[in-house]
Protein backbone atom coordinates (compact mmCIF):
# COMPACT_ATOMS: atom_id res chain seq x y z
CA UNK A 1 0.00 0.00 0.00
CA UNK A 2 2.80 2.35 0.94
CA UNK A 3 4.43 1.61 -2.36
CA UNK A 4 1.23 2.37 -4.20
CA UNK A 5 0.86 5.66 -2.39
CA UNK A 6 4.41 6.54 -3.24
CA UNK A 7 3.84 5.73 -6.83
CA UNK A 8 0.66 7.80 -6.95
CA UNK A 9 2.50 10.59 -5.21
CA UNK A 10 5.20 10.47 -7.84
CA UNK A 11 2.71 10.48 -10.67
CA UNK A 12 0.82 13.33 -9.12
CA UNK A 13 4.02 15.28 -8.63
CA UNK A 14 5.30 14.83 -12.17
CA UNK A 15 1.92 15.58 -13.68
CA UNK A 16 1.76 18.74 -11.63
CA UNK A 17 5.22 19.81 -12.73
CA UNK A 18 4.31 19.08 -16.29
CA UNK A 19 1.13 21.10 -16.01
CA UNK A 20 3.04 23.99 -14.56
CA UNK A 21 5.49 23.90 -17.43
CA UNK A 22 2.77 23.78 -20.04
CA UNK A 23 1.02 26.65 -18.31
CA UNK A 24 4.22 28.66 -18.34
CA UNK A 25 4.87 28.04 -22.01
CA UNK A 26 1.29 29.04 -22.79
CA UNK A 27 1.60 32.23 -20.79
CA UNK A 28 4.84 33.02 -22.57
CA UNK A 29 3.10 32.78 -25.93
CA UNK A 30 0.18 34.80 -24.62
CA UNK A 31 2.54 37.48 -23.35
CA UNK A 32 4.12 37.75 -26.77
CA UNK A 33 0.67 38.31 -28.26
CA UNK A 34 -0.28 40.68 -25.45
CA UNK A 35 2.54 42.99 -26.43
CA UNK A 36 1.40 43.00 -30.06
CA UNK A 37 -2.24 43.48 -29.09
CA UNK A 38 -1.54 46.24 -26.59
CA UNK A 39 -3.07 44.26 -23.71
CA UNK A 40 -0.49 45.60 -21.28
CA UNK A 41 -1.31 48.76 -19.40
CA UNK A 42 0.30 50.87 -16.75
CA UNK A 43 -1.37 51.79 -13.51
CA UNK A 44 -0.04 54.57 -11.33
CA UNK A 45 -0.08 54.59 -7.56
CA UNK A 46 0.06 58.10 -6.14
CA UNK A 47 2.53 58.88 -3.38
CA UNK A 48 1.67 61.52 -0.80
CA UNK A 49 3.26 63.95 1.62
CA UNK A 50 1.20 63.05 4.65
CA UNK A 51 1.57 66.47 6.32
CA UNK A 52 -0.73 68.09 3.78
CA UNK A 53 -1.98 65.15 1.65
CA UNK A 54 -0.22 66.59 -1.38
CA UNK A 55 0.60 64.21 -4.24
CA UNK A 56 4.38 64.10 -4.61
CA UNK A 57 4.89 61.36 -7.17
CA UNK A 58 3.52 58.18 -8.69
CA UNK A 59 4.85 54.66 -9.07
CA UNK A 60 4.19 53.05 -12.43
CA UNK A 61 2.98 49.45 -12.07
CA UNK A 62 2.40 47.12 -14.98
CA UNK A 63 -0.95 45.40 -15.45
CA UNK A 64 -1.87 42.58 -17.78
CA UNK A 65 -5.47 41.70 -18.26
CA UNK A 66 -5.37 38.27 -19.87
CA UNK A 67 -8.38 37.70 -22.18
CA UNK A 68 -9.26 34.33 -20.48
CA UNK A 69 -7.36 34.25 -17.21
CA UNK A 70 -8.10 37.78 -16.03
CA UNK A 71 -5.47 39.73 -14.17
CA UNK A 72 -2.01 38.14 -14.16
CA UNK A 73 0.15 39.14 -11.21
CA UNK A 74 2.90 41.59 -12.21
CA UNK A 75 5.51 39.49 -10.42
CA UNK A 76 4.61 36.45 -12.56
CA UNK A 77 4.49 38.58 -15.69
CA UNK A 78 7.98 39.98 -14.99
CA UNK A 79 9.27 36.49 -14.20
CA UNK A 80 8.00 35.13 -17.53
CA UNK A 81 9.34 38.15 -19.37
CA UNK A 82 12.78 37.68 -17.83
CA UNK A 83 12.91 33.97 -18.64
CA UNK A 84 11.79 34.42 -22.23
CA UNK A 85 13.89 37.43 -23.16
CA UNK A 86 10.91 39.79 -23.48
CA UNK A 87 11.82 41.84 -20.43
CA UNK A 88 13.84 44.44 -22.26
CA UNK A 89 11.09 45.18 -24.74
CA UNK A 90 8.48 45.30 -21.98
CA UNK A 91 10.74 47.32 -19.71
CA UNK A 92 11.34 49.90 -22.41
CA UNK A 93 7.63 50.09 -23.11
CA UNK A 94 7.03 50.75 -19.40
CA UNK A 95 9.70 53.45 -19.29
CA UNK A 96 8.48 55.16 -22.45
CA UNK A 97 4.82 55.02 -21.45
CA UNK A 98 5.50 56.30 -17.93
CA UNK A 99 7.75 59.16 -19.08
CA UNK A 100 5.39 60.34 -21.80
CA UNK A 101 2.43 60.14 -19.42
CA UNK A 102 4.14 62.51 -16.99
CA UNK A 103 4.79 65.02 -19.78
CA UNK A 104 1.20 64.63 -20.99
CA UNK A 105 -0.29 65.25 -17.54
CA UNK A 106 1.82 68.36 -17.12
CA UNK A 107 0.69 69.66 -20.52
CA UNK A 108 -2.91 69.15 -19.44
CA UNK A 109 -2.41 71.29 -16.36
CA UNK A 110 -1.48 68.55 -13.89
CA UNK A 111 1.47 68.82 -11.53
CA UNK A 112 4.98 68.07 -12.69
CA UNK A 113 5.90 65.22 -10.36
CA UNK A 114 8.41 62.38 -10.56
CA UNK A 115 7.48 58.92 -11.74
CA UNK A 116 9.05 55.84 -10.17
CA UNK A 117 9.70 52.94 -12.51
CA UNK A 118 10.72 49.46 -11.33
CA UNK A 119 13.70 47.91 -13.07
CA UNK A 120 14.07 44.16 -13.25
CA UNK A 121 17.44 42.61 -12.58
CA UNK A 122 18.07 41.78 -16.24
CA UNK A 123 17.10 45.25 -17.31
CA UNK A 124 19.48 46.76 -14.79
CA UNK A 125 22.32 44.62 -16.05
CA UNK A 126 21.64 45.20 -19.74
CA UNK A 127 24.58 46.80 -21.49
CA UNK A 128 22.46 49.43 -23.26
CA UNK A 129 20.35 50.48 -20.27
CA UNK A 130 21.75 53.97 -19.84
CA UNK A 131 21.71 54.81 -23.56
CA UNK A 132 18.18 53.48 -23.85
CA UNK A 133 16.91 55.56 -20.97
CA UNK A 134 18.61 58.65 -22.35
CA UNK A 135 16.90 58.09 -25.66
CA UNK A 136 13.50 57.60 -24.02
CA UNK A 137 13.94 60.83 -22.03
CA UNK A 138 14.91 62.68 -25.19
CA UNK A 139 11.97 61.29 -27.17
CA UNK A 140 9.38 61.94 -24.47
CA UNK A 141 10.82 65.25 -23.32
CA UNK A 142 10.80 64.33 -19.63
CA UNK A 143 13.52 65.98 -17.59
CA UNK A 144 15.76 63.33 -16.00
CA UNK A 145 15.11 64.58 -12.47
CA UNK A 146 11.47 63.54 -12.84
CA UNK A 147 12.45 59.93 -13.41
CA UNK A 148 13.17 57.72 -10.42
CA UNK A 149 14.38 54.18 -11.00
CA UNK A 150 13.58 51.55 -8.40
CA UNK A 151 16.13 48.82 -7.97
CA UNK A 152 16.46 46.24 -5.21
CA UNK A 153 19.34 45.47 -2.92
CA UNK A 154 20.17 42.18 -4.63
CA UNK A 155 20.83 43.96 -7.93
CA UNK A 156 23.78 45.76 -6.35
CA UNK A 157 25.59 42.56 -5.40
CA UNK A 158 28.02 42.97 -8.27
CA UNK A 159 29.47 46.17 -6.85
CA UNK A 160 31.77 47.08 -9.74
CA UNK A 161 29.07 46.74 -12.34
CA UNK A 162 26.50 48.60 -10.27
CA UNK A 163 28.79 51.49 -9.42
CA UNK A 164 29.34 52.20 -13.11
CA UNK A 165 25.68 52.11 -14.08
CA UNK A 166 24.43 53.97 -11.02
CA UNK A 167 27.00 56.72 -11.39
CA UNK A 168 26.10 57.18 -15.06
CA UNK A 169 22.40 57.41 -14.21
CA UNK A 170 23.16 59.78 -11.35
CA UNK A 171 25.25 62.00 -13.62
CA UNK A 172 22.30 62.27 -15.98
CA UNK A 173 20.21 63.56 -13.07
CA UNK A 174 18.07 60.45 -12.71
CA UNK A 175 17.13 59.47 -9.17
CA UNK A 176 17.61 55.99 -7.73
CA UNK A 177 15.55 54.44 -5.00
CA UNK A 178 16.07 51.16 -3.18
CA UNK A 179 12.79 49.25 -3.36
CA UNK A 180 11.69 46.68 -0.76
CA UNK A 181 14.41 47.99 1.49
CA UNK A 182 15.25 45.74 4.41
CA UNK A 183 14.29 42.46 2.75
CA UNK A 184 17.48 41.93 0.74
CA UNK A 185 21.00 41.05 1.70
CA UNK A 186 22.85 44.18 0.78
CA UNK A 187 25.71 45.37 2.90
CA UNK A 188 25.08 48.72 4.57
CA UNK A 189 28.34 49.97 3.10
CA UNK A 190 26.64 49.96 -0.31
CA UNK A 191 24.49 52.81 0.87
CA UNK A 192 27.40 55.19 0.96
CA UNK A 193 29.22 53.58 -1.96
CA UNK A 194 26.40 54.14 -4.45
CA UNK A 195 24.39 57.22 -5.36
CA UNK A 196 21.09 56.17 -3.77
CA UNK A 197 18.56 58.95 -3.27
CA UNK A 198 15.74 57.19 -1.50
CA UNK A 199 14.95 54.16 0.65
CA UNK A 200 11.56 52.53 0.21
CA UNK A 201 10.67 50.72 3.40
CA UNK A 202 9.24 47.35 2.42
CA UNK A 203 5.63 46.81 3.27
CA UNK A 204 6.36 43.59 5.17
CA UNK A 205 7.70 45.84 7.98
CA UNK A 206 4.56 47.95 7.89
CA UNK A 207 1.93 45.20 7.92
CA UNK A 208 2.22 44.45 11.69
CA UNK A 209 3.83 47.66 12.80
CA UNK A 210 1.01 48.52 15.18
CA UNK A 211 1.48 45.25 17.09
CA UNK A 212 5.04 44.20 16.49
CA UNK A 213 7.62 46.17 18.48
CA UNK A 214 10.48 44.70 16.47
CA UNK A 215 9.04 45.88 13.18
CA UNK A 216 8.42 49.27 14.72
CA UNK A 217 12.03 49.48 15.92
CA UNK A 218 13.38 48.39 12.54
CA UNK A 219 11.30 50.97 10.71
CA UNK A 220 12.43 53.71 13.11
CA UNK A 221 16.03 52.64 12.50
CA UNK A 222 15.67 52.70 8.72
CA UNK A 223 14.16 56.19 8.86
CA UNK A 224 16.92 57.47 11.14
CA UNK A 225 19.56 55.92 8.90
CA UNK A 226 18.09 57.57 5.82
CA UNK A 227 18.06 60.92 7.60
CA UNK A 228 21.67 60.53 8.70
CA UNK A 229 22.76 59.58 5.19
CA UNK A 230 20.77 62.53 3.76
CA UNK A 231 18.48 60.24 1.79
CA UNK A 232 14.76 60.48 1.32
CA UNK A 233 12.62 57.73 2.78
CA UNK A 234 9.17 56.52 1.81
CA UNK A 235 6.95 53.91 3.45
CA UNK A 236 5.14 51.41 1.26
CA UNK A 237 1.94 49.54 2.06
CA UNK A 238 0.32 51.97 4.48
CA UNK A 239 -3.27 50.76 4.82
CA UNK A 240 -4.50 52.25 8.09
CA UNK A 241 -4.51 55.45 10.10
CA UNK A 242 -2.70 53.70 12.97
CA UNK A 243 0.14 52.70 10.67
CA UNK A 244 0.31 56.22 9.29
CA UNK A 245 0.48 57.68 12.81
CA UNK A 246 3.52 55.56 13.67
CA UNK A 247 5.31 56.67 10.49
CA UNK A 248 4.43 60.29 11.24
CA UNK A 249 5.71 59.98 14.81
CA UNK A 250 8.98 58.71 13.35
CA UNK A 251 9.19 61.59 10.89
CA UNK A 252 8.56 59.65 7.71
CA UNK A 253 6.11 61.73 5.71
CA UNK A 254 6.36 60.22 2.24
CA UNK A 255 3.61 57.63 2.07
CA UNK A 256 2.44 55.12 -0.52
CA UNK A 257 -0.37 52.71 0.23
CA UNK A 258 -4.02 51.78 -0.02
CA UNK A 259 -4.85 54.13 2.86
CA UNK A 260 -4.38 57.04 0.46
CA UNK A 261 -4.81 55.37 -2.91
CA UNK A 262 -4.57 52.06 -4.73
CA UNK A 263 -2.75 51.93 -8.07
CA UNK A 264 -5.08 53.59 -10.60
CA UNK A 265 -5.45 53.68 -14.37
CA UNK A 266 -4.16 56.93 -15.88
CA UNK A 267 -7.58 58.56 -16.30
CA UNK A 268 -8.36 58.06 -12.62
CA UNK A 269 -5.07 59.56 -11.50
CA UNK A 270 -6.11 62.71 -13.36
CA UNK A 271 -9.10 62.97 -11.05
CA UNK A 272 -6.73 62.92 -8.07
CA UNK A 273 -4.85 65.88 -9.61
CA UNK A 274 -7.90 67.92 -10.44
CA UNK A 275 -10.18 67.00 -7.54
CA UNK A 276 -7.72 66.76 -4.67
CA UNK A 277 -10.60 66.77 -2.17
CA UNK A 278 -11.26 63.18 -3.19
CA UNK A 279 -8.15 62.03 -1.39
CA UNK A 280 -7.83 64.79 1.18
CA UNK A 281 -10.10 62.79 3.46
CA UNK A 282 -9.28 59.07 3.30
CA UNK A 283 -12.31 56.93 4.02
CA UNK A 284 -11.02 54.57 6.71
Q: Which of residues 25-54 bind ligand C2E (CB under 6 A)?
A: 45
Q: Which of residues 20-59 bind Mg ion (CB under 5 A)?
A: none
Q: Is 180 in the site for ligand C2E (CB under 6 A)?
A: yes
User: How far apart, in whole angstroms, are the C-alpha atoms of residue 273 and residue 106?
Assistant: 10
Least CB distance to Mg ion at residue 74 (A)? 9
Least CB distance to Mg ion at residue 93 (A)? 17
Strand partners, 114: none
List all residues 6 or more positions away from 231 whose beta carbon is below 8 Å from its beta carbon: 191, 196, 197, 198, 199
Q: Is 180 in the site for Mg ion (CB under 5 A)?
A: yes
User: How far apart, in whole angstroms, are the C-alpha atoms of residue 25 and residue 125?
Assistant: 25
Scanning 97-105, 142-150, 215-223, 270-278 for contacts with Mg ion by CB under 5 A, the matching segment is: 142-150
Least CB distance to Mg ion at residue 14 (A)? 34
Q: Is 118 in the site for Mg ion (CB under 5 A)?
A: yes
Contact residue for ligand C2E among 50, 120, 140, 177 (CB under 6 A): 120
β-bridge pairing 147-152 and 232-236: unpaired
Q: Which is nearer to Mg ion, 128 or 154 (CB)?
A: 154
Least CB distance to Mg ion at residue 26 (A)? 26
Contact residue for Mg ion among 148, 179, 215, 232 (CB under 5 A): 179
- Residues 84/26, Cβ–Cβ less than 8 Å: no
Q: Which of residues 75-114 bind ligand C2E (CB under 6 A)?
A: 75, 78, 94
Residue 239 interaction partner, one of Mg ion, ligand C2E, none, beta carbon < 5-8 Å per kind: ligand C2E
Residue 93 interaction partner, one of Mg ion, ligand C2E, none, beta carbon < 5-8 Å per kind: none
What are the residues binding ligand C2E (CB under 6 A)? 45, 61-62, 73-75, 78, 94, 118-120, 150, 179-180, 203, 236-239, 256-258, 263
Amino acid sequence: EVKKQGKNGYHFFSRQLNDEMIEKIRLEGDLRKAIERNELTLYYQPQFWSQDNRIIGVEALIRWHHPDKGVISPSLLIHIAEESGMIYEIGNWVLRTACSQMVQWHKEGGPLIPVSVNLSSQQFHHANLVENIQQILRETGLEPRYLELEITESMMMDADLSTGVLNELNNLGIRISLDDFGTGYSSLSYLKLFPIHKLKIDRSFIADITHNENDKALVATIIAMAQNLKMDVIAEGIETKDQLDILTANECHEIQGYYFSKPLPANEVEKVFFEPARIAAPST
